[in-house]
Amino acid sequence: MARSKNKVEFGDFQTPAELVSRVCNLIKQNGANPVSLIEPTCGVGNFVFSALEYFPSIEKGIALDINPTYTQMVKKRIGKDKSKVEIQTEDFFQFNWNKYIANLPEPILVIGNPPWVTNSQISSIEGTNIPTKNNSQKLKGMDALTGKSNFDISEWMMIKLFDALTDRNATLAILCKLSVARKVLTYAWKNGLDIGESAIYEIDAKEDFDASVEACLLVVRFSPNVISKECLWHSSLSSNLQPNRIIGFRNGRVVSDVVLYEKWKHLLSQTEQEYIWRSGIKHDCSRIMELHRVGENRYQNGLGEEIELEEEYIYPLVKSSDLFNEREPSRWVIVTQKKVGDDTSAIEKIAPKTWAYLKSHQDDLAKRTSGIYKNRPPFSIFGIGNYSFSPWKVAISGLYKEPRFRMLGTYLGKPIVADDTVNFVSFGSAADAKELAGVLNSNSALSFLRAMTFVDAKRPYTVDLLKQLDIHKLIGRPRIKSSLFD
């Protein structure tokens, strides 16, 4: 158990020697000739020894790890090169990177594979291998409470290294999640750091680490007073192949294809739109709140319990998989409020069986860990408003790689509601909803979204992305006859 806990806390996945060799060879083929070496989380030292082999020009360096067993192994193995590379048992988060890097001879090579774990994963096992908490992404309100504030430890490490390298002649080559690579590039581009060339090379994390995550080698060249806001994207770890696209920083955000973006950027919204994208209902307790219908007013919950409930607070539910595969609702959900913060005590009088059911599971609902439920009425939900009960919606799954917009209407006499993985615009008119669904499924709209979207993201199609699309420009006239429901 202790070994497993340490593996989670410190992201202890050693990089295979064959992959390390391929990384070093690629960097060498691309012209790196470092004098100084940094391996910030060296583990058993595979990157250290491979770098010394591929780059005999290295004269000075340091390799750190928080695990003394590993640093002792590296010290025993390093032999005659101990005069070049200092091996230290150190906590990355306590080391003064700015001071150390400022005194290194150039060019500098930073290479390695930092932990692929998040702060919440470490906190869940009561680990301490995390930096001091701060809202570095400047998240506000609900975003800071609902998970967007969760970050990868490697993201924080790389940002520290980026800041220290910005005015130096250096190359950084780090294995990381694709999502982390985008975030640190965004940080650098937003803050005007001295980044010249950069490239992403996709790797097969399942094959190399038995990890089900999209990952890459991120290579960044730092050079004083040189700023580029584009990054070459390669589909494999090969210096011989041409990049399959170029990502870049445009209009305050990272776009996934700068060529496609330039073609369709006229569809970018410049003003507030009357079409308001919403996310569906969030309740964080599917075993209790989501039900399957088994008879007249009879339902079964996720615990296998069969209960009889009134109809007043129960609505047909679609989730991302239902929407994407164009299935009818197979689940029902208890909707306890008409808008966020509503008093829920009225349920007891209007639907006593529903109230009794919720009360019988109040402990489960009280265990919801998200801060959004604190100091709220009992059985509260979020992502709820007048728009939730519209007779028509145009909706898209936020989870799937392929964008598909679909109309949602009513089911068995009740408006269909969506869960929080679905985004939608609400309508009172079927004709208006049909027109919007048609234009959103057009080549123009889908091409715009592909230019902006990274399909490896956990939720490629977010409300923030969808509202970037100017629907009025897409339709070709100021507005359609609207029956927006809000």
Claim to verify: residue 85 and residue 208 sit in the same structural domain: yes
In the predicted structure, residue 290 carries a pLDDT above the cut 60: yes
In the predicted structure, residue 7 carries a pLDDT above the cut 60: no
pLDDT at site 81:
85
Claim to verify: residue 422 and residue 288 sit in the same structural domain: yes
At residue 10 the predicted structure's pLDDT band, cuts being 50, 70 and 90, is very low
Position 447 in a domain? yes
Claim to verify: residue 309 and residue 457 sit in the same structural domain: yes
Claim to verify: residue 146 and residue 89 sit in the same structural domain: yes
In the predicted structure, residue 335 carries a pLDDT above the cut 70: yes
In the predicted structure, residue 73 carries a pLDDT above the cut 80: yes
Claim to verify: residue 282 and residue 199 sit in the same structural domain: no
Claim to verify: residue 71 and residue 215 sit in the same structural domain: yes
Cα separation values, 27 from 32, 99, 182, Å: 6, 26, 20
Q: Which of 221, 255, 289 is the last residue of a domain?
A: 255
**pLDDT tens digits, 416-464:** 999 999 999 999 999 999 999 999 999 999 999 999 999 999 999 999 9
Claim to verify: residue 6 and residue 83 sit in the same structural domain: yes
Position 73 in a domain? yes
Domain count, the chain: 2
Claim to verify: residue 146 and residue 79 sit in the same structural domain: yes
d(CA 154, CA 177): 9
Give the mean pLDDT of 263-278. Answer: 91
pLDDT at site 402:
96
Range of the domain at 78: 2-255
Q: Which of 222, 255, 288 is the last residue of a domain?
A: 255
pLDDT at site 127:
44
Q: What percent of the chain has pLDDT above 70?
A: 89
Claim to verify: residue 177 and residue 317 sit in the same structural domain: no
d(CA 153, CA 41): 12
Claim to verify: residue 297 and residue 215 sit in the same structural domain: no
pLDDT at site 273:
79
d(CA 167, CA 102): 9
Position 462 in a domain? yes
Residue 233 belongs to a domain with what CATH number?
3.40.50.150
Position 486 in a domain? no
How many CA within 13 A on the CB side of residue 171?
A: 23
pLDDT at site 145:
46
Nearest by Cα to 334 from 311, 360, 361, 364: 311
d(CA 392, CA 59): 68
Position 270 in a domain? no
Claim to verify: residue 297 and residue 249 sit in the same structural domain: no
At residue 12 the predicted structure's pLDDT band, cuts being 50, 70 and 90, is low
In the predicted structure, residue 123 carries a pLDDT above the cut 80: no
Claim to verify: residue 234 and residue 289 sit in the same structural domain: no
**pLDDT tens digits, 145-193:** 444 556 789 999 999 999 999 999 999 999 999 999 999 999 999 999 9
d(CA 183, CA 179): 6
What are the strands of the beta sheet with 278-279, ordered from one edge? 278-279, 422-427, 392-397, 405-408
Position 136 in a domain? yes
Position 485 in a domain? no
At residue 125 the predicted structure's pLDDT band, cuts being 50, 70 and 90, is very low
User: What's the residue count for the chain?
Assistant: 486
At residue 476 the predicted structure's pLDDT band, cuts being 50, 70 and 90, is confident
Position 482 in a domain? no
